[in-house]
A and B are shown apart, each in its own frame.
Chain A
Amino acid sequence: MVDLIVLLVLLLVTYGTGRWFEQRHFESIRQREAQLLPLLTSTLSTIPSSAPVERSEMVCGSVVVSLDYFKRFIAGLRGIIGGRIKPYEPLLDRARREAMLRMRERARAEGFDMVVNVRLETSRLASAAADGKRTAGVEILAFGTAVKLAAAG
């Protein structure tokens, strides 16, 4: 009975904190995405312009995320009966967008005009538990080629 109460409190508390961080993060993401709108970002490997290139450089942004207790608990139950692990979806969406934003913010800070050939990669981090069964977290890496075009004329 005590175990059950502890579990319930843990679930509610971690749900609350997780939700709070998530909403705050989404606000920040949306705001920064709007600011970066003029910085062209593309998965094409060519520059959508005929202007000569002044300089180019690889830029990257990376994010490491982990689960809270609530998400892990829900995922554990999903592991028994199967189906969509819905609490994971916004978590990974945030991580991907944050990684993209960091990459693009870097490109803008360096004075580049655009980022082309953008790729996203995910890698699992080392296991957290002693038995090696649990994932500590995942890293999302966004990388691409930042390009500055030569001034016209």
Chain B
Amino acid sequence: MEAKPRLPDDRVNLPSSHPLADAGQLIAFVVALGLLLFAAVAYSVELVVWLLPHDTEVRLAHELWPAEEPTADDAERHEKLQALVEALASGWPDNPYRLQVRIAREEQPNAFALPGGLVLVTEGLLDSAESENELAFVLGHEIGHFRGRDHLRGLGQGLLFQLVLASIGVGGGDIRLLGDTGLIAGLSFSRDQERAADRFGLELLQHHYGHAAGAGIFFERVASSDPVHTSMPTFISTHPDPRERAAEIRKLAAQRGYRLQGRLRPPL
């Protein structure tokens, strides 16, 4: 037997296409799939947001944010704030929520609408407000988020994305984590949702005080003190530009015949 060795054809086990071209194709496909998933999640959340029974929402919220007693030193402030929110909410007859206020120990002035009717207000906001009316507008704006069900949208999308990511093995996937930090940080609504909430806040302000003085003052202050907001172009920021917002609010008030001058009450 005679053996005639020869070199093997070494292309047989090697891909013929360029690796970068393959990588580009693959990445484009996965990105397209991701976008599709994003659209599907957004759409299904939009459906669920209006179908979710009220008591389910309250129960869910209770698990994410267990009830918490106000501490002794802010008990009085908390009581006043709670009374103010309830008074404002009386301008919304169909309100299904029992709105609860909670004060967060946080210097950054901000407020959040959380599922189950929880209004989270930072100490920074209470301290920086120069009148009750100014604060009331921000609270009215948050109540507007409840009416638009924006708070559920944020929660639902955050939750669903965590689930999707966890199921394909990306990200921690701890849903409880959302309740503490991730969700509140990720609560960004679209500009349209913000504008609708602004409109409703304005209506509540007018209903409660009989005039709309103080509306939008908070945004003007944010615009003049916050270097991030002033330097960032409008189209990048998720929130509408605070100056633009304040101007829109004034315009809207004028259209509806709300007075922007009136007696301001002292801050809480």
**A interface residues with partner B (beta carbon < 8 Å):** 15, 19, 26, 29-30, 33-34, 37-42, 48-49, 70, 74, 77-78, 80-81, 84, 86-87, 89-90, 92-93, 97
Contacts and interface: CB of A to CB of B under 8 A. Distances in A.
A90 B14 contact: yes
Contacts of A89: 13-15
Contact of B7 (A37, A74, A86, A92): A37
Contact of A40 (B3, B22, B29): B3
Contact of A15 (B10, B19, B33): B19
B6 to A, nearest CB: 7
A23 B107 CA distance: 58
> Which 6 pairs, one residue from A and one from B, show the smallest C-beta to C-beta distance?
A86-B15, A93-B13, A48-B1, A77-B30, A90-B14, A37-B5
Contacts of A49: 1
A32 B29 CA distance: 40
B27 interface: yes
A38 B3 CA distance: 10
Contacts of A30: 7, 10
27 contacts: A15-B19, A15-B20, A15-B23, A29-B10, A30-B7, A33-B8, A37-B7, A38-B5, A39-B5, A40-B5, A41-B5, A42-B3, A48-B3, A49-B1, A70-B23, A74-B23, A74-B26, A78-B26, A80-B30, A80-B168, A86-B15, A86-B19, A86-B22, A87-B19, A89-B15, A90-B14, A90-B15
A86 B26 CA distance: 11
Contacts of A97: 10
Most chain B beta carbons < 10 A, residue from A30, A34, A86: A86
Given A80-B30, A81-B26, A90-B14, 15 more contacts: A29-B10, A30-B10, A33-B7, A37-B5, A38-B5, A48-B1, A48-B3, A70-B23, A74-B22, A80-B168, A84-B15, A86-B22, A87-B22, A90-B15, A93-B10
Contacts of B29: 81
Contacts of B27: 77
Q: Chain B's interface: helix, strand, loop or mixed, by majority?
A: loop
A29 B3 CA distance: 22
Interface residues of B, number: 21
Nearest to A26: B10
Interface in B218-267: none
A93 to B, nearest CB: 4
Nearest to B30: A77
Contacts of A29: 10
Contacts of A86: 15, 17, 19, 22
Contact of B30 (A38, A81, A87, A90): A81
A30 to B, nearest CB: 7
A80 B154 CA distance: 26
Contacts of B23: 15, 70, 74, 87
A26 to B, nearest CB: 8
Contact of A81 (B19, B22, B33): B33
